[in-house]
Chain A
Amino acid sequence: MTSFTKKQLLGFYEKMFLIRKFEEKAGQLYGSGAIGGFCHLYIGQEAVVVGILSSINSEDTVVTSYRDHGHIIARGVDPKLVMSELTGRSGGISKGKGGSMHMFSKKNRFFGGHGIVGAQVPIGIGLAFAHNYRNEKKISRIYMGDGAMNNGQVFEAFNLASLWSLPALFIIENNQYGMGTSTKRSAAGNDLYERAKVFGIEGVKIDGMNFFDVSKAAIVARDYIIKENKPYVIEMDTYRFRGHSMSDPALYRSKEEVLQKKEIDPVLTMKETLIKDHQISESEIKTLETEIKKIIKNAEDFALSSPLPDLEELYTEVYL
């Protein structure tokens, strides 16, 4: 089924569990007032980013929307730097000046963290353009939600990406709701990925709750993009267990629906599969989870003790 080693698989599970625990902690810190503003949690969608990560070349570029904590952590940025950005402290990845939705790391090839629905998609094809311009065999991974798929600039980006043969992988994280509006109430036609077809962009829809399905599709997609010199789209059928943001009670969906989706919780599913099919013991996983909990505790401590930004920071970095 897969050629991953046991160590790699544990590594992927570790990332998923890390993101889950990070987001739970972020939710708690929001509740205590340590995190302010908007805070969009990734809980439930972990298999998407980690599955895609399993195919990633370290030089590939990544760009995503505002639901970005899991993405930047998956890309290898220290959770401490992410958590302290959420608490708006000087130790944050953006020195506390960006916040939950605006985090970047050039070193880790992560280009944000964008707060306006759909805006990251043209930016992402710009990163793909730069790969081509420099004759690099790299691809740009562009994440967007189902909500963005009704935003005009996304189609402009599809057209340009196909027209200019850009190495772009469009990843639609269809978590079924753009804020409180279900895809059924917002998107005409059939599956979202099919909309790319009119631009000559091939694609597929897969189970985004299953790491192995995502990983398989991501590897196929990357090979296709590099070999065919064309963009590609994957629609992830996924689900967020929390509201759109912390202040969303999610009354637009039933408790039964959420419970049903929790039956296929990507983190738990991954754990069960590792134990059942990959000769990984429960105690190995327990050890790893204990380590992650420590990392989260450290991140929390750092995020709460890191000083607020210097007042001088107000006027720095407006211009270079």
Chain B
Amino acid sequence: MSLKKTALCASALICIAGAAVAQETTLTYMLWSTDQAEIEAGAIAAFEAANPGVTVEVQAMPPSDYWPRVSALAASGDLPDVMAMSSGFVQEWAAAGNLMDLAPLIGDTSLEGYFESAVEIGQIDGAQVAFPQNWVAPVLYYNRTAFDAAGLEYPDADWTWDDFRTAAEALTIDADGDGTPEQYGYWVYGRYAQTDPWVFRNGGRFVNEDGTALEINDEAVNALAFLASIVDDGFAPRPLELEGIRQQDVFGMGLAAMWVDGSWNIDNNRALIGDSFEWGIAQVPMGPDATPETAVAYAWADMLAVTTDSAQTDLAWALVQHLTGPTLTAADFTGGKVPAWSATAMSEEWLGRGQQPDNMELILEIGAQPLYTGFTPNWSAWRGYAAAGSGGLNGELDEVFNGRKSLEDALAAATAYGNDILSR
């Protein structure tokens, strides 16, 4: 071969190799929060820098747009490589075959750095179909200033439901005697994050073991009856009384001295309450019907999943690892959202030293317990959540708390409605 031919061949090879190196790989990633997308922008840039030639195309939108959009993409076989996945939807999406089992990709990779219970939430029928990024748990918020004024001890792990009732009564104050307390002891309505922690802490269950039918057990009924009695006794307002006020603002406005809801409300509380009063968090008291076998904590995770439409699963899994591991710092998680990477969660920064509440470790303790989510396919429909929040079990319980329906009738109606949905 002449020198000229050799040079030509070498040039061609260099061109081909150069083209191959320059070829861009695009990884698509969808999530339901534009705020979260902004938070993760730095981590995404770091991933791209560590993987030359890889571009991550991020699409973020509100949840109300996200689920219809990804559902349409699932129908057309065009899901992104990586998608945000909620504990409430993961079963349905796994059953539809849209989520890849990550176990083969995880292989021998150690998961020791993650909260084990959070990782388990992404396991459906033995397959790791989603991986946790953060997790949350309902807690009992309490107004320490009000407790001090009433001469009450703060809630602790030994608190019983009777202790709770006594405190709720003592904290209900109608100073001007007009029949409407300026401060109620407690605040509750039919929302899942407000009632279900009591049910599960009493060993209660709404659905059967395989999640195919509503079978509300006695422990659940007792827990709901306890909450209804708190309202009926006037220690909590009827929900209709506070209609028009954002439910997450009732505690912060000082209208109720105790409240159970998700730990993600810590951020809202910090912003709303400021220094106007002192507050803390505690576990929801264990119920009288709970046994060591049935007593569970209620928590769930926001997760990431690699979809079965992805053609670059190794790279997709690498992105999931990157966005769930130590790359994100404590500052990337809003108050009360616990990083799935335990070292980040245990950092002083996440524990929020110098801010209220001063016992954020409590949320980590909840996550260390056996967890139960109670989610099933179509959970949002039968439970009554988000855009369906006015119906289902939520709507029926509101009828009970508003004093318009007996608990028995409400649960019968909710069961019939839920089983109709689950049977479709």
Q: Do A and B form a real pair?
A: no
